[in-house]
Amino acid sequence: MWHSILRENNWHGEIWNRRKNGDIFPMWSDISAVKDADGQLTHYVATCTDISSRKSAEDQINYLAFYDPLTHLPNRRLLLDRLEQAIATCARHQCKGALLYVDLDNFKTLNETLGHFQGDLLLEMAAKRLMTCVRDDDTVARLGGDEFVVMIEHLNFSALDAATQAEAVGHKIHQVLSQSYPIGPFEHHNTSSIGITLFGNEALETTEEPLKRAEMAMYQAKAAGRNLLRFFDAQMQVMVTVRSALERDLREAVRQNQFVLHYQAQVNTCGLTGAEVLVRWQHPKRKMVSPTEFIPLAEETGLILPLGQWVLETACAQLAAWAVQPTLAHLTLAVNVSAKQFYQEDFVTQVQATLVRTGANPQRLKLELTESLLVTDVESIIIKMSALKSYGLSFSLDDFGTGYSSLSYLKRLPLDQLKIDQGFVKNILTDSNDAAIARMVVALAESLGLAVIAEGVETKAHQEFLAHIGCHAYQGYLFSRPLALEDFEKFAQQY
Ligand code: C2E
Ligand code: MG
Ligand code: MG
């Protein structure tokens, strides 16, 4: 201001001022320097105008341009603006977002029979309910009439995961919107049709495209009978439906205990040392389901906790049963433990209680952890592992080489064994990189004072190569496939 007055004899602009009563208000000021005939500065003249009312009118205009006055939600324009940013964010951070196009099924009839005032009340309630279904940084917009769009951001990069997350929000919306609306003396009911699409697949997508897809999906939901949720992509719809059916079945499976353990031999140069237990699901309507299909889902849904406990319990009971059979008493069992299981606060006591309950010898129990476990608080992992080791059991690091273990962490973990991932073993004879990694794991194990075992050993040539680089413990089809208990016991007695 002074700079301008001294050079140009004038300044004008907005300033924040304070009234005598302490209120802050925006003021327009125009200040001019006044000089006498000799050009000497004599005084300044300032005119001031209180512009608070103009400011609030401007704010109002701005608000009206970007928000819906009835529900106070962002309007189409602001939604498109945010969508544009969200698409850019997805490209930058490798994530996905979803648009859920929500249309109330019976609003028009209600509006006509109830009158517009009551109709407005219903829309306001619907808007408030929609807000409860999303996080603060997600957007709920009203496009007009009874059409709303919910934009959720920061979803998983995997399309199936993102779709599952979006579907969960869709179900929640369905549920909150179908609760009764108390308006006047009556309770009104309404359902909604929801169309879902993901965005963030293509970086160059325009903002109109996802919105159009979501709208088309919403019309499909209407056409299919209303009160439904539809994905734009039919294939996505199928995948999400299959997955929710699987989740439902899995809950039932845990309740009814439809699982069995298979035992896969682990051997070394002296003979059979034990087995890894691998869980199988005996689905009532399908053949045996592989754990690669249901373990990830069990982890996501938390079902891994009761399932994992059952696996541990069954394996320990088996160890106790073998302890009295001279030909089997020396065998160890390796049990896979998911990160989620291990993170439970009372995991150590659970394991200890299981050992006591079953009477298993802890020396015969080995827990297999994966590198994915190590992404969080390593200190507390070390504390838990040490506590468990003090009971006598041991630890193996499964699928080693596929994760991102920091070598300095590795040094501090109280591990007993590294398990070379089958991915490296598979091409060990033909791929020099895989062979180099296997060599590295063996050398690393040696220098850290750990044992090493290779999994996925399918041929004599694999075994010979591994022996040549210093790995003398194996698991794989060459020796035995995972077997049902009876078959494994027969195998063990003959081996
Ligand atoms: P994993 O712990 O790395 O188990 C090894 C997998 O490799 C098993 O697959 C096994 O059948 C397979 N395999 C063994 N030898 C060979 C071979 O020579 N060639 C080939 N191609 N494959 C071989 P499976 O039984 O399908 O289990 C897959 C994964 O599921 C396991 O990988 C483990 O991560 C998980 N899993 C299995 N049972 C449990 C469990 O009780 N709890 C938890 N948390 N995860 C489990
Ligand atoms: Mg394993
Ligand atoms: Mg493995």
Return the ligand number nearest the Cα of 341. Answer: 1
- Please tell me the residue having the least CA distance from ligand 1 atom 19: 456
Looking at per-residue confidence, does 234 or 370 come out higher? 370
Asked if residue 445 has pLDDT above 70, the reply is: yes
pLDDT of residue 11: 96
Tell me, in angstroms, the distance from the centre of ligand 1 to residue 64's CA.
Answer: 59
Strand-pairing partners, residue 275, are 265, 333
Q: Is any atom of ligand 1 closer than 6 Å to the C-beta of 398?
A: yes
- Candidate from 120-129, 220-229, 357-366, 438-447 with smallest mean pLDDT: 220-229
Question: Is the distance from CB of 351 to CB of 388 less than 8 angstroms?
Answer: yes
Q: What is the pLDDT of residues 398-417, one digit of tens each?
A: 988 887 667 778 888 999 99
Counting atoms of ligand 1 from 1, which one is nearest the CA of 458? Answer: 18
Handedness of CA 287, 293, 296, 300 (dihedral sign): negative
Q: Give the angle subtended at the CA of 342 by the CAs of 368 and 340, to the nearest 5°.
A: 105
- Reported as a pLDDT band with limits 50, 70 and 90, residue 83 is very high
Tell me, in angstroms, the distance from the centre of ligand 2 to residue 34's CA.
Answer: 88
- Three-class secondary structure of residue 365 per DSSP: strand
Query: Which domains, ranges and CATH numbers included, belong to the chain?
Result: 2-58 (3.30.450.20), 68-232 (3.30.70.270), 257-494 (3.20.20.450)
Q: What separation in angstroms does the CA of 372 have from each of 385, 405, 448?
A: 15, 8, 20
pTM above 0.75, yes or no: no
Tell me, in angstroms, the distance from the centre of ligand 1 to residue 290's CA.
Answer: 9
pLDDT of residue 152: 97
Tell me, in angstroms, the distance from the centre of ligand 2 to residue 276's CA.
Answer: 7
The rounded distance, in Å, linking the Cα atoms of 484 and 274 is: 14
Question: Is the distance from CB of 11 to CB of 1 less than 8 angstroms?
Answer: yes
Counting atoms of ligand 1 from 1, which one is nearest the CA of 477? Answer: 18
pLDDT of residue 243: 81
State CA 490 to chain mean position distance: 43
Strand-pairing partners, residue 263, are 277, 483
Tell me, in angstroms, the distance from the centre of ligand 2 to residue 219's CA.
Answer: 47
Question: Is the distance from CB of 250 to CB of 284 less than 8 angstroms?
Answer: no
The rounded distance, in Å, linking the Cα atoms of 376 and 372 is: 9
The rounded distance, in Å, linking the Cα atoms of 456 and 478 is: 8
Q: What is the pLDDT of residues 212-252, one digit of tens each?
A: 999 999 999 988 888 999 999 888 788 788 888 888 999 99
Asked if residue 108 has pLDDT above 90, the reply is: no
- Candidate from 3-12, 30-39, 113-122, 360-369 with smallest mean pLDDT: 113-122
Question: Is the distance from CB of 143 to CB of 149 less than 8 angstroms?
Answer: yes
- Please tell me the residue having the least CA distance from ligand 1 atom 22: 456
Asked if residue 197 has pLDDT above 90, the reply is: yes
Q: What is the pLDDT of residues 282-317, one digit of tens each?
A: 998 888 889 998 998 899 889 999 999 999 999 999
State CA 142 to chain mean position distance: 28
Q: What is the pLDDT of residues 317-326, one digit of tens each?
A: 999 999 999 9
Q: Is any atom of ligand 1 closer than 6 Å to the C-beta of 291?
A: yes
Question: Is the distance from CB of 151 to CB of 213 less than 8 angstroms?
Answer: no
Average pLDDT for 411-428: 94
Furthest-apart CA atoms within the chain: distance in Å: 121
Please state, rounded to an integer, the average pLDDT across all residues of the chain: 93
pLDDT of residue 204: 64
Counting atoms of ligand 1 from 1, which one is nearest the CA of 299? Answer: 44
pLDDT of residue 203: 59
Return the ligand number nearest the Cα of 278. Answer: 1
- Three-class secondary structure of residue 319 per DSSP: helix
Tell me, in angstroms, the distance from the centre of ligand 1 to residue 402's CA.
Answer: 14
Asked if residue 278 has pLDDT above 70, the reply is: yes
**DSSP code for 379:** H
Which CB contacts under 8 angstroms, 24+ apart, belong to 224-229? 226/105, 226/191, 226/193, 227/105, 227/174, 227/178, 227/191, 227/192, 227/193, 228/193, 228/194, 229/167, 229/170, 229/171, 229/174, 229/193, 229/194, 229/196
Question: Is the distance from CB of 165 to CB of 181 less than 8 angstroms?
Answer: no
Q: Is any atom of ligand 1 closer than 6 Å to the C-beta of 371?
A: no
Question: Is the distance from CB of 273 to CB of 266 less than 8 angstroms?
Answer: yes
Q: Token pair of 4, please?
A: 């301008």
Asked if residue 435 has pLDDT above 80, the reply is: yes
Q: Is any atom of ligand 1 closer than 6 Å to the C-beta of 279?
A: yes
pLDDT of residue 114: 81
- Reported as a pLDDT band with limits 50, 70 and 90, residue 336 is very high
Q: Is any atom of ligand 1 closer than 6 Å to the C-beta of 458?
A: yes
- Reported as a pLDDT band with limits 50, 70 and 90, residue 202 is low
Q: Is any atom of ligand 1 closer than 6 Å to the C-beta of 476?
A: yes
Q: Is any atom of ligand 1 closer than 6 Å to the C-beta of 293?
A: no
- Please tell me the residue having the least CA distance from ligand 1 atom 23: 456
